């Protein structure tokens, strides 16, 4: 193997480089995960991360890639056959759609272009047309990393409310959380969301905040 001097500096949209002080903290010796020190530390982290999401609800920390967090969010809130509304705004929105289909969800994939985030007017139009409330969830990528386009979550929330539709609003915040304004409680979101390796500059770990609204029964619970 050839020797490379210097320091490898990753220059892609994500994962981002982990700051030195975080790297140093990661090199600390292992502590007993059943001991008092760990439980105090874990509670501090679980409490502190609420600030990042701007939520007073519970936050779940889940060790996985962003794709793993997508899957956990889908299988724990929806059931095969459920209909969901997604938007073709870029590469990651398309991958999320593929996963939803593999898991047996019926996806209404609204065609749009890769030059903008999700259009709130389109959300309102699609939901207003769903008179029987068959759509169980509206799923939006907050910041579409492949294009750099951001969806306006507050306006999307307002569009859902104007349509008078009860669908859960799920959002992928994989590359937005910590860098773009995100107000989980105020915007009534359900997030499969992921604070990892992008703006939060950390190792693979996913952070998810359950919804303020009650999801449908989940026969295949698999966290």
Contacting residues toward ligand PLP, per CB under 6 A: 14, 65-67, 92, 141, 145, 172, 174-175
List the beta bridge partners of residue 188: none
- Nearest distance, CB of residue 96 and ligand PLP, angstroms: 7
Residue 104: left (phi > 0), alpha (psi -120 to 50), or beta?
Answer: left
Instruction: Choose between 137 and 145: whose C-beta lies nearer to ligand PLP.
Output: 145
The answer to whether residues 10 and 17 touch, using CB atoms and an 8 Å cutoff, is: yes
Whichever of 77 and 173 has its CB closer to ligand PLP, that residue is 173
Say whether the peptide bond before residue 203 is cis (omega within 30 degrees of 0): no
C-beta of 205: minimal distance to ligand PLP in Å?
10
What is the Cα–Cα distance from 59 to 31, expressed in whole angstroms? 23
Shortest CB 65 distance to ligand PLP, Å: 4
Q: Which residue is nearest to ligand PLP (CB)?
A: 66
The whole-angstrom separation of Cα 69 and Cα 2 is 36
Q: How far is the CB of 47 from ligand PLP (least distance, A)?
A: 25
Q: Which is nearer to ligand PLP, 138 or 163 (CB)?
A: 138
* Cβ atoms 109, 88 nearer than 8 A: yes
Output 149 or 167, the one with its CB closest to ligand PLP: 149
């Amino acid at each position: 193997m050839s020797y490379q001097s210097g320091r490898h500096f990753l220059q892609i949209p994500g994962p981002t480089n982990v700051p030195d002080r975080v790297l140093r903290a990661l090199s600390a010796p292992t502590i007993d995960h059943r001991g008092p020190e760990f439980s105090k530390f874990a509670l501090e982290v679980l409490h502190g991360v609420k600030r990042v999401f701007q939520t007073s609800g519970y936050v779940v920390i889940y060790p996985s890639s962003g794709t793993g967090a997508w899957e956990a969010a889908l299988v724990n809130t929806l059931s095969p056959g459920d209909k969901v509304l997604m938007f073709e705004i870029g590469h990651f929105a398309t991958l999320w759609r593929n996963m939803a289909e593999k898991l047996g969800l019926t996806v209404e994939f609204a065609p749009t272009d890769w030059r903008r985030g999700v259009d709130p007017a389109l959300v309102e139009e699609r939901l207003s047309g769903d008179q029987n409330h068959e759509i169980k969830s509206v799923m939006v990528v907050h910041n579409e990393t492949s294009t750099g386009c951001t969806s306006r979550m507050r306006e999307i929330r307002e569009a859902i409310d104007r349509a008078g539709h009860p669908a859960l609003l799920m959002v992928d915040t994989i590359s937005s959380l910590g860098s773009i304004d995100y107000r989980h409680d105020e915007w009534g979101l359900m997030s499969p969301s992921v604070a990892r390796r992008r703006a939060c500059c950390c190792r693979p770990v996913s952070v998810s905040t359950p919804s303020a609204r009650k999801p449908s029964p989940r026969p295949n619970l698999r966290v």
